Amino acid sequence: MTGFSTEQVHAGAHPEAEFGARITPIYLSAGFVFDDFDHAEARFAGTTAGYVYSRINNPTNAAVEAKIARLEGGTAAILTGSGQAAVTVGLLGVLKTGDHLLSAPSIYEGTRSLFRDNFARFGIEVEFVDEPLDLEDWRRRIRPTTRLLYAEAIPNPKNDLVDFEAIAGLAHQHDLPFAVDSTVPTPYLFRPIDFGADIVVHSASKFLAGHGASIGGVVVDAGRFDWAKRPDLFPHLAESVDGAGGPSYTEKFGAQAYSAFTRGVIASRLGTSLSPFNAFLLQQGLETLSLRLDRHTANALALATWLEARPEVASVDYAALPSSPSYALAQKYLPRGAGSVFAFTLRGGRDAARTVIDSVELFTRMTHIGDVRSLILNPATTTHGRLSPAERDAAGIHDGLVRLSVGIEDVADLVADLEQAFGALAR
Ligand SMILES: Cc1ncc(COP(=O)(O)O)c(C=O)c1O
């Protein structure tokens, strides 16, 4: 395999055939023409390759999917209209009513609500591990109905990493797949599949696109999980589809059984497809991913180090700092850097957070991460505002906690902005 920066530019892309356009164009077409009666029949039967309808797939989207699958080391990818859609369809490709999902506790609050409220309405039971670094805590919660283990790569805002390889190993001991939301590191910093993950999901609205101009998501199939080994656990993939001895998804699609089912039966029917226009914007962002991430992580490390030395700051939650409980795991899993989304807690609590957030001039007050612009937010009163004070306390989301998503600006300007905002605390 060629280097990551080469792959991010070239993988999945090829000059367009009719006019030789170098960049994969935006194919804004709902449907695709059938040459004749037989051609239509063959396209519907899947016996001839090609596009049918953009809710199912589209040439712009397919090029971006191929690029992301290659960057993640998977066999296939499915673009979705948002990161939330990616989590939803990625997991519904495995789970159905009556199944049990076992999740790490530190996950994006939107996903937690999706699990708690929406999955509960589907009859899918979700349980959160209390001590995610204790493998026994995961093990003792696995039930006969458990079908999937789930974690996030760099949880936001606390940067509390889990031991991915250990959880993947445990899942596989029980013939279960392991899914990872890898939004924050992106495949440039961390490839979950290299450490045993079977499914990777992303919000592509964040670092993958980088520009903050569009919402999107993606599900990646590692293509390694043996769904056929336990037809009792995964009958939708391992048993005859028509019940009359026809081939199962595993027989028909091999290493792409999960993604074929998830695209054809889940994503296209729930209608979660990404507009080719947004897929094109994502494509443009992906081509510079490694360059942006190098700058993001260097800026974040410099800011985190600066913050840790400030008397106004009680603690900094950044996995790349030696003071972080996640430092050893970050050294193992994130040798290129721990991304640029982290938090610090001001000694002055809510009032201090208000002063700093209201005083910044370069940072943008916004709920988003992974943008080229630096962003700032108080989770206790926004993203985590629905939690009870006791739940927030247990999660370490104190009133004075400030989340940063560090952008790619000149770091001296970012430090200067925080310095002048801290200056307001003394006034
Ligand atoms: C880790 C993570 N996963 C999923 C999502 C949801 O993505 P989207 O906002 O694109 O739906 C987010 C959004 O912030 C996120 O941070």
Residues of the chain above pLDDT 70, percent: 100
255 and 170 in one domain?
Answer: yes
334 and 254 in one domain?
Answer: no
Query: Which 3-state string (H, E, C) describes the chain?
Result: CCCHHHHHHHCCCCCCCCCCCCCCCCCCCCECCCCCHHHHHHHHHCCCCCCCECCCCCHHHHHHHHHHHHHHCCCEEEEECCHHHHHHHHHHCCCCCCCEEEECCCCCHHHHHHHHHHHHHCCCEEEECCCCCCHHHHHHHCCCCEEEEEEECCCCCCCCCCCHHHHHHHHHHCCCCEEEECCCCHHHHCCHHHHCCCEEEEECCCCCCCCCCCCCEEEEECCCCCHHHCCCCCHHHHCCCCCCCCCCHHHHHHHHHHHHHHHHHHHHHHCCCCCHHHHHHHHHHHCCHHHHHHHHHHHHHHHHHHHHCCCCEEEEECCCCCCCCCHHHHHHHCCCCCCCEEEEEECCHHHHHHHHHHHCCCCEECCCCCCCCCEEECHHHCCCCCCCHHHHHHCCCCCCEEEEECCCCCHHHHHHHHHHHHHHHHC
| pLDDT range class, residue 338, cuts 50, 70, 90 | very high
Q: How much distance in Å is there from the Cα of 244 to the middle of ligand 1? A: 41
Of 285, 315, 345, the one marking the end of a domain is 285
| pLDDT range class, residue 1, cuts 50, 70, 90 | low
Of 267, 285, 303, the one marking the end of a domain is 285
Q: Is 152 in the pocket of ligand 1 (CB under 6 A)?
A: yes
Atom in ligand 1 nearest the alpha carbon of residue 217 = 10
Q: Is 157 in the pocket of ligand 1 (CB under 6 A)?
A: no
The string of pLDDT tens digits covering residues 364-374 is 999 999 999 99
Of 260, 285, 310, the one marking the end of a domain is 285
The string of pLDDT tens digits covering residues 339-352 is 999 999 999 999 99
CA 3/CA 161 separation, integer angstroms? 26
Q: How much distance in Å is there from the Cα of 82 to the middle of ligand 1? A: 8
More confident residue, 240 or 79: 79
The closest residue, in CA terms, to atom 8 on ligand 1 is 83
160 and 37 in one domain?
Answer: yes
Q: How much is the pLDDT for 242? A: 72
| pLDDT range class, residue 377, cuts 50, 70, 90 | very high
Structure tokens given for 181: 């939301």
Query: Cα dist. 4→72, 159, 292, 295 in Å?
Result: 10, 25, 13, 16
Overall number of domains in the chain? 2
Instruction: Tell me the average pLDDT across 122-142.
Output: 98
The closest residue, in CA terms, to atom 16 on ligand 1 is 108
Structure tokens given for 118: 């929406």
The string of pLDDT tens digits covering residues 274-328 is 999 999 999 999 999 999 999 999 999 999 999 999 999 999 999 999 999 999 9
The string of pLDDT tens digits covering residues 85-95 is 999 999 999 99
Q: Is 115 in the pocket of ligand 1 (CB under 6 A)?
A: no
Q: Is 183 in the pocket of ligand 1 (CB under 6 A)?
A: yes
Q: How much is the pLDDT for 241? A: 83
Query: Cα dist. 412→291, 306, 358, 415 in Å?
Result: 19, 11, 20, 5
CA 89/CA 80 separation, integer angstroms? 8
Residue 210 sits at φ, ψ, to 5 deg, of 85, -35
Q: Is 299 in the pocket of ligand 1 (CB under 6 A)?
A: no
107 and 13 in one domain?
Answer: yes
Q: How much distance in Å is there from the Cα of 84 to the middle of ligand 1? A: 6
CATH number of the domain residue 373 falls in: 3.90.1150.10
177 and 81 in one domain?
Answer: yes
Exposed / middle / buried, residue 226 (Cβ in 10 Å: 0-12, 13-18, 19+): middle
Q: How much distance in Å is there from the Cα of 155 to the middle of ligand 1? A: 11
281 and 146 in one domain?
Answer: yes
Instruction: Tell me the average pLDDT across 260-272.
Output: 97
Number of Cβ within 10 Å of residue 15's Cβ equals 10
CATH number of the domain residue 248 falls in: 3.40.640.10
Q: How much distance in Å is there from the Cα of 108 to the middle of ligand 1? A: 7
Which of the listed residues 162, 182, 183 should we mutate to test ligand 1's pocket, taking the one with most ligand atoms within 8 A of CB?
A: 183
The string of pLDDT tens digits covering residues 180-234 is 999 999 999 999 999 999 999 999 999 999 999 999 999 999 999 999 999 999 9
Q: Mean pLDDT across the chain, nearest whole number?
A: 97
pTM of the model: 0.98
254 and 391 in one domain?
Answer: no
Task: State the residue range of the domain holding 395.
Answer: 289-426
Q: Is 203 in the pocket of ligand 1 (CB under 6 A)?
A: yes
The string of pLDDT tens digits covering residues 219-239 is 999 999 999 999 999 999 999
| pLDDT range class, residue 401, cuts 50, 70, 90 | very high
The string of pLDDT tens digits covering residues 157-172 is 999 999 999 999 999 9
Q: How much distance in Å is there from the Cα of 181 to the middle of ligand 1? A: 9
248 and 186 in one domain?
Answer: yes
Instruction: Tell me the average pLDDT across 132-149.
Output: 98
C-alpha triplet 219, 215, 75: angle, nearest 5° = 20
Residues pairing with 150 in the sheet: 103, 179
Q: Is 405 in the pocket of ligand 1 (CB under 6 A)?
A: no
160 and 45 in one domain?
Answer: yes
Q: Is 106 in the pocket of ligand 1 (CB under 6 A)?
A: no
CA 188/CA 402 separation, integer angstroms? 26
The closest residue, in CA terms, to atom 12 on ligand 1 is 203
311 and 418 in one domain?
Answer: yes
256 and 232 in one domain?
Answer: yes
Q: Which of these, 424, 406, 306, lies nearest to 354 by C-alpha position? A: 424
322 and 251 in one domain?
Answer: no
CA 130/CA 1 separation, integer angstroms? 39
